[in-house]
Amino acid sequence: MYHFFVNTSDIADGRIRISGEDRFHAVNVLRLRKGEELLISDDEGRDYHCLIDSFDDEALYLSIKEELSGNHELPSEVWLFQGLPKADKMELIIQKATELGVSHIVPMVTKNIVSRPDEKKMASKLKRWQAIALAAAKQSKRSMVPVIHEPLRFTEACEQCADMDVAVMAYEDERGMENLCEAIVNFVPERSIAVMIGPEGGFDPLELRLAKMKDILIVSLGDRILRTETAAIALLSMVMIRLEISKALLTDNGEGD
């Protein structure tokens, strides 16, 4: 079944309106017609099973057959602050982070990034990254598409992280696993969680100091140096598994849906 994402403002009285590029894609590329069934997700994480009623030059009009109760989202907002990596590694990271349930991805310009972002090309890059997130969200049956933000400087990223309920920074020279244990205990539903990963060149000691000043928890991911994309996937996997376990426990106790 084809899957589309809409805004809640496109939904009214049991009907959904799809316009713009999505309408073009549905009608002209996929050749969807009256009677076709679609999976629709809104921007608040609800999923609907829908039928196409009609379409015109403006939009596709659907009726909602049922609101689906399964929940494919993590019970917390997870933010990935990713030091900008080389070439197409960011694409891999966006795809995997989306599969692992993140809600926001913020590329970070840190001291040791290998290639400086070309501002002129950034708009088209962001568009491409957002399209990768959309495709990965569909593939992994997410109910929401992560937002890919404009790159931030490390200091700005630290400010944002400081506003989250839990913020951790993976630092390759950190020793001991106590902080990671503490972080895992704090990855619980309803809390906003920020994860910072350095670029190939790693974090600079000054950046480490700044993060500590902002009360960001510095964690080790073990006694090997991981590539930046591996580090992001490893840490996000821990966040995801921990939140999924909490979600399952809440459901077993009858507190969730």
Asked if residue 198 binds ligand SAH (CB under 6 A), the reply is yes
Which of 172, 184, 192, 250 is close enough to bind ligand SAH by CB under 6 A? 172
96 bridge partner residues: none
Asked if residue 226 binds ligand SAH (CB under 6 A), the reply is yes
Which of 222, 252, 253, 254 is close enough to bind ligand SAH by CB under 6 A? 222
Nearest partner of 17 among 67, 70, 56, judged by Cα: 56
Choose one: 17-25, 28-36, 192-200, 208-216; the region binding ligand SAH (CB under 6 A): 192-200
Residue 162 one-letter amino acid: A
Q: Is the distance from CB of 108 to CB of 196 less than 8 angstroms?
A: yes
Give Cα separations from 22 to 30, 57, 61, 113, 139 (angstroms): 10, 12, 12, 36, 17
Give the integer Cα–Cα distance in Å for 257 and 97: 25
Nearest partner of 62 among 49, 52, 70, judged by Cα: 52
User: For ligand SAH, how many residues bind (rule: CB under 6 A)?
Assistant: 18
Asked if residue 176 binds ligand SAH (CB under 6 A), the reply is no
Asked if residue 220 binds ligand SAH (CB under 6 A), the reply is yes
Q: Element (H or E) spanning 46, and its range? A: none
Asked if residue 228 binds ligand SAH (CB under 6 A), the reply is yes
Asked if residue 231 binds ligand SAH (CB under 6 A), the reply is yes
Q: By three-state DSSP, how is residue 30 classified?
A: coil
Give the integer Cα–Cα distance in Å for 171 and 207: 10
Which of 113, 197, 211, 238 is close enough to bind ligand SAH by CB under 6 A? 197
Choose one: 53-61, 92-100, 160-168, 200-208; the region binding ligand SAH (CB under 6 A): 200-208
Choose one: 3-11, 71-79, 142-150, 167-175; the region binding ligand SAH (CB under 6 A): 167-175
The two tokens of residue 23 are 């309408």
Asked if residue 170 binds ligand SAH (CB under 6 A), the reply is yes
Q: Is the distance from CB of 116 to CB of 249 less than 8 angstroms?
A: no
Cβ-count burial of 181 within 10 angstroms (0-12 exposed, 13-18 middle, 19+ buried)?
exposed
Choose one: 29-37, 47-55, 131-139, 196-204; the region binding ligand SAH (CB under 6 A): 196-204
Asked if residue 98 binds ligand SAH (CB under 6 A), the reply is no
Measured from the CB of residue 196, what is the shortest distance to ligand SAH in angstroms?
7
Residues in touch with ligand SAH (CB under 6 A): 170-172, 174, 197-198, 200-203, 220-222, 224-226, 228, 231
